[in-house]
Amino acid sequence: MSSITGRLTSSPVAARVAPFAVFLLLTFAQDFLGESARYWLYLTKCIVGAWMLWAVRRVVTEMRWTMSWEAVLAGVVVFVFWVGLDAVVPNQKELWVKFGLSKPPAEPAPAWNPFVQFGDGSALGWFFVMARILGSSFVVPPLEEVFYRSFLYRWIVGANFESVRLGHFGWKPFLITAVIFGFAHNEWLAGILCAAVYQGLVCWKNRLGDAITAHAITNLLLGIWIVWKGAWNFW
């Protein structure tokens, strides 16, 4: 375990990229091991992600949660247009089909809904719902914000990214990071706008913590909305 921690903290790049990369790899894997396995794998990747964040906390010194009214407002605003755009903008899968870059699936992929797999209202179903909400609210935000806004944005500015202020603004890294973040999500346009808001917070405040908090608020509200409205397509 100590050797893994040593590798994680061996360089500024590894500390910021490896947790995100491992989390992303497990995300890709979770849909290939059977319907039941993907819920357990989601729980596993959240535990692994949380441990990796804990392991690099002393190296990634900017990874500190910050509460501010701007962060709260940004989180709520992003949630509103994330949900609102769904009805009027085709998601990424629909977009590729529309432009002939992909074929329509023979049957729709099953939604991430543990109540279908484990029984409506079942204890195990609620367990995985809570795991998803907590994971997306407390593990995903620091993982993604550290990768996209602490590393990728500044690395586009210059290879010696640690010398670039968190508050540095440049159109090139701003737009590139927003597009990459956006198309990493099925809701591509909402993702681009989301990245712009979070990056704007970082540039304005010259710190990462507000973006982490805003991201957490967005994901928490989205999780509550999904369960309340049965809008499982967002997961």
From CA 96, how far away is CA 74, in angstroms rounded?
Answer: 30
Question: CA dist 176 to 155, 180, 181, 196, Å?
Answer: 11, 6, 9, 10
Question: Could you tell me which residues come within 8 angstroms of residue 32 by beta carbon, excluding any fewer than 6 positions away?
Answer: none
From CA 41, how far away is CA 1, in angstroms rounded?
Answer: 21
Whether 167 maps to a domain, the answer reads: yes
Whether 161 maps to a domain, the answer reads: yes
Whether 6 maps to a domain, the answer reads: no
pTM of structure: 0.94
Whether 9 maps to a domain, the answer reads: no
- Domain range spanning residue 201? 65-234
Q: Which has the higher per-residue pLDDT, 180 or 6? A: 180
Whether 20 maps to a domain, the answer reads: no
Whether 3 maps to a domain, the answer reads: no
Whether 108 maps to a domain, the answer reads: yes
Conformation bin of residue 121: beta by default, left when phi > 0, alpha when psi is -120 to 50: left
**pLDDT for the residue numbered 2:** 66
Query: Quick check: 208 and 166 in contact, CB under 8 A?
Result: yes
**How many domains is the chain partitioned into structurally?**
1
pLDDT of 141-196, one tens digit each?
999 999 999 999 999 999 999 999 999 999 999 999 999 999 999 999 999 999 99
